[in-house]
Chain A
Amino acid sequence: MTGTSEARDGRIGNWKVGVVTSIRRESASGRSITIDVPGWGGNIAGQHTDVRLTASNGYTAVRSYSVASAGVGDRIELAVDRLPSGEVSPYLVDTLREGDELELRGPLGGWFVWTPQQAENVQLIGGGSGIVPLMAMIRSHEASGSTTPFRLLYSVRTPLDAFFRAELESPSANLEVTWIFTRHAPSGYSRPAGRITAADLEAHGFPAALAPTVFVCGPTGFVETVATALVALGHEPDRVKTERFGGA
């Protein structure tokens, strides 16, 4: 079957074999994984990749993961949160080691993406591991020297659940980061712990009148809440791009 689909999917190319060069702990259940993928050739911020695992009996499992890195070259970074009932994410988080090979196919997707040519204000809103494609946009923004204003609202349960915490705690001049803690906020943090609300979007997001492009990524409930609130605040629905994750 794969022969057929690979011929058909010529533009995406064949499965490529990557080698894991480093794994970093992001949270108790999250890891960022840097992989050298000869032939990858670079990706736009926000794109994703298929990852294929093969058991010794030939059984395979494929899932898509957002790429946390952007730009040219064959080295990419993924960041994965372990889903308790998942099949692939527990392997990537708990079993995978540096030096292991991993099959990838991509980059995929042309909608939930940002390129440095875009000049409008950008509002990023991420929940949990939904930060991953947004991180690629933040990195692309910084690497390109773009002076377009970026704002990020990042919702996590506690500070310890944040991915890319160090990087986001010292943002570049054109990026404003607002943290939303849903379970426990650090002591002294002015906003009490709780889920994101329209008031958070109004207080810290770009106003609808500035017509920002808005990228929202996270679990379904989070994205539904945020996207509905954005439309109620006057954002044009076609300027609100969403990516929801479900499944395992």
Chain B
Amino acid sequence: MAVISRGFIGRGGEANPDLPAGQYLTADFPVLSAGPTPHIDTVDWQFSIRTDSETLHTWSWDELHALPIEDIHTDIHCVTRWSKLGTSWRGVSLDTLFANVTTSDKFVMAQSYGGYTTNVPLADLLGGQAWIALEFDGDQLDPEHGGPARLLIPHLYFWKSAKWIHGLEMQSQDEPGFWEQNGYNMYGDPWLEQRYW
């Protein structure tokens, strides 16, 4: 049984069906990163998908921008309990990027400039569920928020949406990434509150 907190009222109000359990709404866009923010020049920027030691699909900044760029309107949920509803992004669908990629592996390790990693099943990157995001709210993505480009997988807790994305590496097994090795859930579904181990 929950303990009633004497004198606690909270913001209360109507339960919002768009808000997963344990989350609260914020109008800000809090920044959470494990280390310094890398600053990456788009001239040097590259994104790649590696399927095996011999096969690397790569895109430069310009090559990525030559692909169809989609408008994305979505809610985002951070494991630190803030949620932001109705955010606007622009980016390239992972369906587009995987169109010519052949792999039998079911898992992906996302790798970022600066060394951050996070694991995600391939199935969660396809089917209109994930993007390489280039813009937030009409502007180029700030370095603090993962610019020049970040992964955007809004149906999972936001640590899966790796900032400063550099590449995806296919894996036959689901291996833990950075936060997943440091106490956080392998999958991270906000609607199941899959926060921790």
A70 to chain B, nearest CB (A): 16
Whole-angstrom CA separation of A118 from B8 in the bound complex: 41
A5 in contact with B30 (CB, 8 Å)? no
B34 in contact with A242 (CB, 8 Å)? yes
Q: Is A28 an interface residue (CB 8 A)?
A: no
B31 in contact with A246 (CB, 8 Å)? yes
Q: Is A2 an interface residue (CB 8 A)?
A: yes
Of B8, B10, B82, B183, most A-chain CB atoms within 10 Å: B8
A247 touches which one: B6, B21, B37, B82 (CB < 8 A)?
A: B82
Who on chain A is nearest to B21 by CB? A1
B10 touches which one: A4, A87, A244, A245 (CB < 8 A)?
A: A87
Whole-angstrom CA separation of A221 from B33 in the bound complex: 12
Whole-angstrom CA separation of A244 from B78 in the bound complex: 14
Q: Is A153 an interface residue (CB 8 A)?
A: no
> What sequence of 0s and 1s flags, for each residue 1-38 of chain B, a beta carbon within 8 Å of any chain A beta carbon?
01111111111100000000110101010111111111
Who on chain B is nearest to A60 by CB? B2
B36 in contact with A242 (CB, 8 Å)? yes
Residues of B contacting A56 in the complex (Cβ-Cβ under 8 angstroms): 4
Who on chain A is nearest to B113 by CB? A237
B34 in contact with A111 (CB, 8 Å)? yes
Assign chain B's interface to a size class.
35 or more
A240 touches which one: B8, B35, B178 (CB < 8 A)?
A: B35
Residues of B contacting A61 in the complex (Cβ-Cβ under 8 angstroms): 8, 10-11, 24
Residues of A contacting B33 in the complex (Cβ-Cβ under 8 angstroms): 242, 244
Whole-angstrom CA separation of A60 from B81 in the bound complex: 12
Residues of B contacting A100 in the complex (Cβ-Cβ under 8 angstroms): 5-6
Whole-angstrom CA separation of A58 from B4 in the bound complex: 8
> What sequence of 0s and 1s flags, for each residue 68-99 of chain A, a beta carbon within 8 Å of any chain B beta carbon?
00000000000000000001000100010100
B4 in contact with A62 (CB, 8 Å)? no
Given contacts A62-B81, A237-B38, A247-B80, contact A55 B30 (CB under 8 A): no
Whole-angstrom CA separation of A15 from B1 in the bound complex: 10
B91 to chain A, nearest CB (A): 23
**A1-45: which have CB < 8 Å to B?**
1-2, 4-5, 8-12, 15, 17
A54 in contact with B2 (CB, 8 Å)? yes
> What sequence of 0s and 1s flags, for each residue 102-145 of chain A, a beta carbon within 8 Å of any chain B beta carbon?
11000011111000000000000000000000000000000000
A247 in contact with B26 (CB, 8 Å)? yes
**B163-197: which have CB < 8 Å to A?**
178-179, 181-183, 185, 192-197
B193 in contact with A5 (CB, 8 Å)? yes
Q: Is A182 an interface residue (CB 8 A)?
A: no
Given contacts A5-B194, A87-B24, A220-B144, contact A230 B36 (CB under 8 A): yes
A-B contact pairs, 21 of them (CB 8 A): A2-B21, A5-B194, A8-B185, A8-B194, A53-B5, A54-B2, A56-B4, A60-B2, A61-B11, A62-B81, A91-B8, A102-B3, A108-B196, A228-B37, A241-B34, A241-B35, A244-B30, A244-B31, A244-B33, A247-B24, A247-B28
Interface of B toward A, CB cutoff 8 Å: 2-12, 21-22, 24, 26, 28, 30-38, 80-82, 114-115, 144, 178-179, 181-183, 185, 192-197
Give the top 4 A-B pairs by smallest Cβ distance, nearest first.
Answer: A246-B30, A5-B193, A227-B36, A110-B182
